Amino acid sequence: AQSVTQLDSHVSVSEGTPVLLRCNYSSSYSPSLFWYVQHPNKGLQLLLKYTSAATLVKGINGFEAELNTSETSFHLTKPSAHMSDAAEYFCVVEGNFNKFYFGSGTKLNVKP
């Protein structure tokens, strides 16, 4: 069975400093993994996806994530936070039969 754990419900960083949002997954096979971002009162937007190619995946807005199969992690990073990055971020693993398993979300706060 597939599951996702986002280790931090809230992360606060200063503008211009690095961002790290942590995600661990559980899967009985090599899964597809995704990160989504949700700005207030908006739908979810795909940031990036891992699909069995390179383990380092680059996404939009300068975000990237690296798959670590030994630690079953797929952490999201960005070298320098911008105020517009303040949002909620969801880590997602794909299961069977068109099902997706969502983490509980991490709210990123960016301080000026």
Partner 1 sequence: ETGVTQTPRHLVMGMTNKKSLKCEQHLGHNAMYWYKQSAKKPLELMFVYSLEERVENNSVPSRFSPECPNSSHLFLHLHTLQPEDSALYLCASSQGTSARGRNEQYFGPGTRLTVT
Sites of contact with partner 1 (CB under 8 A)? 32, 34, 36, 41-46, 49, 51-53, 90, 92, 94, 97-100, 102-105
- HSE-CB of 10 using CA atoms within 13 angstroms: 3
- B/e letters for 52-77, b = 16+ CB within 10 Å, e = fewer, are eeeeebebeeebbbebeeeeebbbbe
CA 97/CA 75 separation, integer angstroms = 25
CB 68, min distance to partner 1, A: 19
Closer by beta carbon to partner 1, 23 or else 81? 23
Q: Which residues are bridge partners to 37 per DSSP? A: 45, 89
Residue closer to partner 1 (CB basis): 36 or 74: 36
- Cβ proximity to partner 1: between 80 and 104 the closer is 104
Other beta carbons within 10 Å of 102: 15
Minimum CB–partner distance for residue 86 and partner 1 (Å): 18
Q: Return the number of the residue (1 or 97) whose C-beta is nearest partner 1.
A: 97
Shortest Cβ distance from residue 64 to partner 1 (Å)?
17
